[in-house]
Structure 1
Amino acid sequence: MPHLTRDLMRHLTRPTPQPSEQPSEEPSGQPSGERPDAGRPLRKRASGGASRQGMALLRIPATVIAATGLLLTACTSGSGGHPASASSPMSGGSSAASSSTASTAGLASYYGQKLKWHSCGAAGFDCTSMKVPLDYAHPGAHDDLTLAVARKKATGPGARIGSLLVNPGGPGGSAIDYLQYAALGYPTPVTSRYDMVAVDPRGVARSAPVECLTDKQMDTYTAVDTTPDDSAEVTTLASADKGFAAGCEKRSAKLLDHVSTVDSARDMDILRGLLGDRQLHYVGKSYGTFLGATYAGLFPQRVGRLVLDGAMDPSVDALESSRAQAGGFEVAFNAFAADCLQEPSCPLGTTSVTDAGKRLDALFKNLDAHPLSTGTSRKLTEALGTTGVIAAMYDQSAWPTLRTALASAMKGDGDPLLKLSDSYYERDDTGKYSNLMYANAAVNCLDLPPALRSPADVEKALPSFRKASPHFGTTLAWSSLVCGYWPVKATGHAAKITAPGAGPILVVGTIRDPATPYAWAKSLAAQLSSGHLLTYDGDGHTAYARGSDCIDTSVNAYLLDGKVPPTGKTCT
């Protein structure tokens, strides 16, 4: 638990370029001023998909960043602030964001900053920071936030086009960590002509991070049973969610009203101005597509070339979002099972996908009754085992790892499956968590009203979740409960984003995407007044820079020349 939402763009085993040297500095990640829990050491999370208030994140895994050998080290974070009202009259996915442009009144001092870049890595990365108002409704009335920014300049040859902002999703994924993948792993024609740029969104990683629990408390929370069998287990689960929400209020109360997607979209426009770009060029993955679409709704005339890959549908409410995502993981598991059956050593058998599902259910049931030893003080519970399986659904390159982990679990060793779960939660080998899950909940619970406010609400919704996903539906339903106990009210609501007047926007959808169902990409492309859909007939979460030459060629043509693919374009 918490099975949060939106973004886990996982490339668990995908090779990435290797820089020749390691960078030399360490990011403090410490905001100045009023940061709650200032003594707690900070870390970070990398990312890229899941529902809004349910379990999955949408993100790029930390293992990818580790494979690059990079860690940007001189990007600092910002101050906390004194909250007042909701951060903006326009909130994520709201009709205001979809139909009118955002005012920049009173923001001249923020748009007039001068960025002071300095080297923060031997591989040619630069870092800086920028000030943004805590509360856009009252700029200057409270402490500012300081957001961490990083870039890698265009490598040439060819004329520089401008800056290309990237965001991996989450919400809660570190865009700066993802930049280290994108700057070296995106196609060379793009990185040679764009300065690759990232800002950790407010509340995330190096930018005034939201904090909620101690690492030990998080270990306990992630292991809580999300398939309760009786009233006592329901009470335990609800108490855990209440404790999580209370911890966020205790440690981060001054931020919780001000970390909406609209706030982050407005921050991106300030950065666009500071970079000297007339329009925003952007690649958003998973939840990053919602951030990008929100930006387009607020600033349609400033839309440059926007790629929204692994798209979310802003018109879908929290309940349907979580339920649809459950269905997405079911589709992904069936694809994994079909592949596994081709292997003689498949731990789920070799007869049928249906039989494979029954064996998985049997494993989960056994973990519920008898958590497995992992060689550490932690046991592999059913909740952690389920998370481990889900983590591997984001990228088919992780399927061999999952096969091995399932085989080990069936032999009594829970450690490999626990490691998959830890990678999902961004828990490192020393037991430290990034703030990914805390930021994820904070943003999600502010962006949309809670779908399920009580255990009774979950019980009522369970049949539809189980129908959508016999293997994961119960977990995703119960994992939606945390926002029902959130200490601040949501400022957004589900609504279409049309962005009239924006230039062409490229929406990329993967047919068997586990975290952002393909139907969402079709819907977003249709509702955007200038949306164009590009389809990848494949598995895994998101498509660009993940191995498809057809997808990469089409996206590159758009980013480099503004050329959108023909209607109905599908890559295999």
Structure 2
Amino acid sequence: MPRYRLATAVSTVAIVGAFMVPATAQAAGLRWEKCPQNEDVWCADLQVPVDWATGRGSITLKLARRDATTDRKIGTIIYVPGGPGDSGRGQLLGKNWLSEAAAERFDIVSLDPRGTNESDAVKCDAGLIDDMPNLNPDTGGRLANVIEYSRAVEADCRKQPLDVMDHMSSRDVARDVEAIRAAIGEQRISLYSRSYGTLAAQMYAEMFPHRTRAVVLDSVFDHSLSGRQLLESSVRNVEDSFYAFADWCARTQSCVLHGKDVGAVFDDLYRKAERGELTEPSNPAKGITATELSWLTMRVWLYRPDWAGLADRLARLSGLLPPGAPVGFPSSKGFFPMAAFCADHRITFRSESEWRWQWARLKAMAPHLRTHMVWQIASICAGWPIPATNLQRRPDVRVPVLVLNSRHDPATSLEWAVNVSGQIPRSALLTYEGAGHGVYNRTACTEQVTDRYFVDLVLPAPGASCPSGTTAP
């Protein structure tokens, strides 16, 4: 049986004492100006080194800030967005991620992480990036083609003058967060992080404990997992979310697939896609691959979650309802955030047969969804020419941490949250007994528990949970 080469752990670098925030950041006196997109939000730029180890180069971090709404301000919460590739600045322009109670007491500052969006994004040829190779071995996908694609993308992205791609790990982002802290003049900061951003937050708490007041890891990423563990736990998790949806549909008369075998409906569509016969109902000229069917099911409907919308979509694809609006992934616009994931993970396949063996194993674990978007990312990272600089290992965090996770989260599993909470001695886990990706703003209960920690530094008791919202899920 082929063996998967597991990532090896690396020892923690003794970096806290050696790392210094550049004087330019300490004295930045950020020039905050009202954002033209939203005058309730302040925007600023912060220059940081491309390479924190040597101080070489300079990139511009794009920041946004919303002020506390009362004069009883406690401090600043820095929001570290997920993805990788989400725009924290853009999200803060749209809304305040803090609850009303927390927004009264804290400024909130966020950023576009380095190499993404407005912070000197790694820009490449959009046509090349969007021409993704087939990642499904059952329909002709080959690892050799994926590796060729990875190398071609890296070579094209390398054409820009800054070597940001070489310095996009979550450890680099953590150093950027420390530069933000110094620039805003806070002695200590609180962190709210979400999804992939929870990895940078763990790095920050580990590297700068004396600057850390509170840390919330919402829908947490477990960086201690080997390549195989990451793939297999991800696919088990998305299948669990699909089963939760199917169970809801069986119990809910308003579900348009109520009374039908939802798993069988999906399987029929998947097999049709494998044969090249599944098309967009409103545009029969546009085919839908089996991989796209699974990934869109996860990313569009299970994430939110929107179970009624997913049932509607499957019914339209099956011809049980008239065609609706088309659904698809937007163009990358030449943006390649997967470089950040590759910087944080060493993932290798030693042969084509090993890649195919792993695929077959994932399908057996998830008989409906078959795959997870992590399969795409892991396969591309296996061929990524730039070595990972922030290898997988357990966190060494000694400050109090609040971990939040849904019971049925298709992206970051409750299994991961239990693992991470167990790895951080002074942490507490709050489980939201519902579905979807992201917990803080789900219900009054999840907000109250999180806000009590932010405001009073009180963690919930072991085994704490919040019920699902009044309207499923």
Q: Which moved more, 1:403-412 or 1:361-370?
A: 403-412
Output the TM-score relative to the length of structure 1. 0.73
- Distance 1:434-1:301 versus aligned 2 partners, 3 A rule: farther
Report matched runs for 1:252-267 at 5 Å: 254-267=163-176
The 2-side partners of 1:491 and 1:116 are apart by: 33
Match of 1:446 among 333, 343, 358: 343
Match of 2:306, SS state, is helix
1:489 equivalent in structure 2: 387
Match of 2:110, SS state, is strand
- Distance 1:182-1:322 versus aligned 2 partners, 3 A rule: farther
1:196 is the counterpart of 2:108: yes
Report the residue type matching 2:417 in the other structure: A
1:401 equivalent in structure 2: 309
2:318 equivalent in structure 1: 410
1:148 is the counterpart of 2:62: yes
Match of 1:470, SS state, is coil
Match of 2:299 among 383, 387, 391: 391
- Distance 1:94-1:444 versus aligned 2 partners, 3 A rule: farther
The 1-side partners of 2:146 and 2:321 are apart by: 26
Conservation of the 8 A alpha-carbon contact between 1:341 and 1:350: yes
Using the TM superposition, give the Cα deviation of residue 383 of structure 1 relative to its aligned residue in structure 2, in angstroms: 2.7
Work out the number of aligned pairs and report it: 456
Conservation of the 8 A alpha-carbon contact between 1:447 and 1:492: yes
Report matched runs for 1:169-188 at 5 Å: 169-183=82-96, 186-188=98-100
- Distance 1:93-1:155 versus aligned 2 partners, 3 A rule: farther
- Distance 1:371-1:282 versus aligned 2 partners, 3 A rule: same
1:132 is the counterpart of 2:48: yes
Output the TM-score relative to the length of structure 2. 0.88
Match of 2:179 among 244, 251, 270: 270
The 2-side partners of 1:320 and 1:262 are apart by: 22
Q: For structure 1, which runs of at least 5 residues remain unmatched after alignment?
A: 1-91
Using the TM superposition, give the Cα deviation of residue 377 of structure 1 relative to its aligned residue in structure 2, in angstroms: 6.5
1:295 is the counterpart of 2:204: yes
- Distance 1:294-1:233 versus aligned 2 partners, 3 A rule: closer
1:75 equivalent in structure 2: none
Report matched runs for 1:36-115 at 5 Å: 95-96=11-12, 101=16, 103-105=18-20, 107-115=22-30
1:507 is the counterpart of 2:415: no
Q: For structure 2, which runs of at least 5 residues remain unmatched after alignment?
A: 1-7, 468-473
1:370 is the counterpart of 2:266: no
Match of 1:96, SS state, is coil
Match of 1:533, SS state, is strand
Report the residue type matching 1:483 in the other structure: C
Report matched runs for 1:24-43 at 5 Å: none
- Distance 1:464-1:114 versus aligned 2 partners, 3 A rule: same
User: For 1:317-339, what per-residue CA distance to the aligned partner results, in whole angstroms no more than 9, with x for missing partners?
Assistant: 23211221111100000111112
Conservation of the 8 A alpha-carbon contact between 2:267 and 2:368: yes
Report the residue type matching 1:113 in the other structure: A
The 1-side partners of 2:203 and 2:165 are apart by: 19
After superposition, the CA RMSD in angstroms is: 2.8
Percent identical pairs in the alignment equals 27
Conservation of the 8 A alpha-carbon contact between 2:64 and 2:93: no
Match of 2:125 among 190, 213, 217: 213
Conservation of the 8 A alpha-carbon contact between 1:497 and 1:527: yes
Report matched runs for 1:220-235 at 5 Å: 220-221=131-132, 224-229=133-138
The 2-side partners of 1:416 and 1:328 are apart by: 29
- Distance 1:324-1:415 versus aligned 2 partners, 3 A rule: farther
Match of 1:160, SS state, is coil
Using the TM superposition, give the Cα deviation of residue 192 of structure 1 relative to its aligned residue in structure 2, in angstroms: 1.4
Conservation of the 8 A alpha-carbon contact between 2:294 and 2:370: no
Match of 1:248 among 135, 157, 161: 157
Conservation of the 8 A alpha-carbon contact between 2:73 and 2:105: yes
Q: Which moved more, 1:471-480 or 1:535-544?
A: 471-480
1:165 is the counterpart of 2:78: yes
- Distance 1:273-1:234 versus aligned 2 partners, 3 A rule: closer
The 2-side partners of 1:284 and 1:118 are apart by: 25
Match of 1:192, SS state, is helix
Using the TM superposition, give the Cα deviation of residue 493 of structure 1 relative to its aligned residue in structure 2, in angstroms: 1.5
